[in-house]
Structure 1
Amino acid sequence: MNKVTKDGKSINVALIGYGFVGKTFHAPLIQSVPGLNLTLVSSRDAEKVKRDLPDVTVVATPEEAIHHPDIDLVVIASPNATHAPLATLALNAGKHVVVDKPFTLDMQEARDLIALAQEKQTLLSVFHNRRWDSDYLGIKEVIEQGLIGNVKHFESHIDRFRPEVRVRWREQNVPGSGLWFDLGPHIIDQALQLFGLPQSVQGNIATLREGAEINDWAHVVLNYPEHKVILHCSMLAAGGVQRFTVHGDKASVVKATIDQQESQLLAGVIPGSEHWGEDSDDLVVFDANAQPKPHSTPKGDQRQYYIQIRDALSGKRSNPVHPVEALAVMAVLEAAVKSSDTGTTQTLSLTDSERAKLQ
């Protein structure tokens, strides 16, 4: 791995894309991490960028950002179909690369990027930021402490209520769009972090809203030898759904509401400030007699992703999200789509070598 922090030199970052994800997540998180210097943004709307980031250089094209001689790390937060071609360009230019989720449109694109990063000896990572969400960290803590025994049923929902179809690429019938490729990577990655690879996948993916062009509802089951994992996302859930419901052989735990960091970022809260990542919604553990007991929810902190990227580039730790882990997420995404299309249970299209790296 090339090291780009020598003698205290900060890592110069170029952000490609300043839409919702680039503006809301990447820019504030990068700026909150000492040692990372958001130097340049590629956007067609320079005025929008300058309102938020007056000291940042704005260029019109991704190519200008990638080939800028002062840039060490390229963060790709542009539409999903551009992830693979832009990451390829950046890796070939000798840059380190962070790609927003989903990694790519398909597994072959992901494999090609992994091979190229290995060839160029550069860091390639995928922004699976929800590993540092309060709700997930709380559920993980309860499971690891053995408070519910052995997990038998794990259910993860990210639901929204958006009955009206919006005019934006994520809701148009273009490559990489749809709710499953938008929210699926978050809940898949969390499940794989907890339980590893499933034996098989059953998917049911649908388009339910009037006028919708692409899927807006997904219900996916990951089959494990001793338990089941249910992953669900919908655009038509106004309320009444738990974020997590987990049943073990000794007790159960539920988490009602989602991590608040996205809401905080939208409200202009500075990452790392006094109340950053706080979650006042306790988990509730139900014992064998169905008696509820609150369990405090730990703070979330998505800054940790970029803190660990910085430390990986300075040789202090490993890549926080190795690309083969993101490839595994792609394998589940694809298996669920194929299962839904064919009505059959699917196994993951991972090689023995890839599986070995995920152990």
Structure 2
Amino acid sequence: MTLRAGILGFGVAGRYFHAPLLRAAGFSIPAVVTSKPDSAREYLGKVDVLGSADELLARDDIDLVVIASPSTLHAPQAAAALRAGKHVVVDKPAAASTLELTDLDQLASSSRRKLAVFHNRRWDSDFLTMKKLIDAGQLGEINSYHARWDRFRPQVTDRWRDRDEPGNGILYDLGTHLIDQTVVLFGMPEWLYANAFIQRENSVTVDGFEILLGKGKLRITLGVSLLTADGGYRYRVNGSRASFLKAGLDQQEAQLRAGAEPNEHFFGVEPAEQWGTLVYGETGQREVVTPETGRWLSFYEDMRTAIEDDGPVPVSAAQAYDTIRIIEAALTSSAMGCRIDLQPDAPLVSR
């Protein structure tokens, strides 16, 4: 039987991320909730355009609810969908606090429904390439990891992302991806120092940050600036044998916005001018690395399997909990000007 998904929110995320990936993974989309009916019908064709989340949750022809609404609505809408007996994918951040995430995880467990968080950047080309190099030992023992996501966005907009509300700000936006990737690669850090700040004129929420994290001898630095014309390297990973340097952004978002579909042969392929470089420590020899193909589609393929076969979801609430825990610690560290210890790890029901 074809699984049926309803999308709650059809802005950029709903239209360009979730809808194409859902269809390519074999889901049908009978209904969406949006104030932009023309956009939904232009892409999906015959689809019911609804005016409220309650209308979507009341339908019996929806197996999975995908929450692509503003961040402040993620946790309450995910809870409502679980209570309505639906499986749920919620866009990042799943919640503004670890307490909310714990409640969602417990609710998903008690309702026997699948809850997954859309941390799609685990399937970026550059991240898959970097992880493969690290896992294969090609860099040796990693001693430092540097990841940045700088942009030039000097103007503050009137969009929900720039409003002073829980779950907004760059730490919860781009920071969520950088932190999630870090935990996937190295596990939970032991401590952090952080500076979360506002730089842009008229900004009312965090629009930049620098975080230093440690785990044993490993040092990790993560950062975002919205006032940087040249972002430089996205990743610099240094090991006992070699370093890996990588600039440029994964292509999947740009391809989806341009109208490409996730099952086209060129989807997720990095242009040659963006390929990363290995630099060997003993010789200084430089080697261009053929990248892995980015594949956000894997998220929804894994979600479909999780629902059909009662298997694990692609990104669990427990994994998302670790990311939000680090964000909370970073905000505390910045406010107090102190180091925050992250060990021992806090429990979560489904961990």
What is the identity, as a one-letter code, of the residue corresponding to 2:77?
L
What is the rounded CA distance, in whole Å, between the counterparts of 1:249 and 1:96 in structure 2? 44
Query: In 2, are the aligned partners of 1:44 and 1:61 still within 8 Å (CA)?
Result: no
1:351 is displaced (CA, Å) by 5.4
Identity among equivalent pairs (%): 36
- Give 1:11's match in structure 2, choosing from 3, 15, 20: 3
Structure-2 residue corresponding to 1:5: none
What SS class does the counterpart of residue 18 from structure 2 fall into?
helix
Structure-2 residue corresponding to 1:318: 312
1:42 is displaced (CA, Å) by 0.5
Tell me whether 231-240 or 87-96 shows the greater mean CA deviation. 231-240
1:230 is displaced (CA, Å) by 1.1
What is the identity, as a one-letter code, of the residue corresponding to 2:268?
G
Once the two structures are superposed, residues 147-181 of structure 1 have per-residue CA deviations (whole angstroms, 9 ceiling, x without a partner) of 11100010111111111112201012222211111
Query: In 2, are the aligned partners of 1:331 and 1:349 still within 8 Å (CA)?
Result: no
Query: In 1, are the aligned partners of 2:149 and 2:231 still within 8 Å (CA)?
Result: no
Structure-1 residue corresponding to 2:223: 232
Structure-2 residue corresponding to 1:86: 77
What is the rounded CA distance, in whole Å, between the counterparts of 1:272 and 1:157 in structure 2? 29
Aligned-residue RMSD, C-alpha? 1.5
Structure-1 residue corresponding to 2:280: 287
- Structure 1 stretches lacking a partner, 5+ long: 1-8
What SS class does the counterpart of residue 72 from structure 2 fall into?
helix
What is the rounded CA distance, in whole Å, between the counterparts of 1:258 and 1:143 in structure 2? 20
1:317 is displaced (CA, Å) by 3.7
Large movers: runs of 4+ above 3 Å: 348-354
What SS class does the counterpart of residue 13 from structure 2 fall into?
helix
What SS class does the counterpart of residue 136 from structure 1 fall into?
helix
What is the identity, as a one-letter code, of the residue corresponding to 1:28?
P
What SS class does the counterpart of residue 193 from structure 2 fall into?
strand
- Structure 2 stretches lacking a partner, 5+ long: none
Structure-2 residue corresponding to 1:308: 302
2:305 matched to 1:299?
no
TM-score, scaled to structure 2: 0.96
2:330 matched to 1:336?
yes
Change (3 A) 1:54 1:350: farther
- Give 1:163's match in structure 2, choosing from 150, 154, 179: 154
What is the identity, as a one-letter code, of the residue corresponding to 1:210?
E
2:95 matched to 1:95?
no
Query: In 2, are the aligned partners of 1:24 and 1:266 still within 8 Å (CA)?
Result: yes
Structure-2 residue corresponding to 1:29: 21
Change (3 A) 1:15 1:298: same
Query: In 2, are the aligned partners of 1:222 and 1:230 still within 8 Å (CA)?
Result: yes
Query: In 1, are the aligned partners of 2:278 and 2:287 still within 8 Å (CA)?
Result: yes
What is the rounded CA distance, in whole Å, between the counterparts of 2:86 and 2:311 in structure 1? 19
Once the two structures are superposed, residues 272-311 of structure 1 have per-residue CA deviations (whole angstroms, 9 ceiling, x without a partner) of 1020000122210111232211111110000000000001
Structure-2 residue corresponding to 1:215: 206
Alignment of 1:1-359 (within 5 A): 9-34=1-26, 36-280=27-271, 281-288=274-281, 289-315=283-309, 317-348=311-342, 352-354=346-348
Query: In 2, are the aligned partners of 1:157 and 1:244 still within 8 Å (CA)?
Result: yes
TM-score, scaled to structure 1: 0.94
1:239 is displaced (CA, Å) by 1.1
Query: In 2, are the aligned partners of 1:217 and 1:233 still within 8 Å (CA)?
Result: yes
What is the rounded CA distance, in whole Å, between the counterparts of 1:112 and 1:232 in structure 2? 30
What is the identity, as a one-letter code, of the residue corresponding to 2:204?
E
What is the rounded CA distance, in whole Å, between the counterparts of 2:20 and 2:239 in structure 1? 38
Change (3 A) 1:300 1:203: same
1:345 is displaced (CA, Å) by 1.1
Aligned length: 348
What is the identity, as a one-letter code, of the residue corresponding to 2:278?
V
Tell me whether 343-352 or 246-255 shows the greater mean CA deviation. 343-352
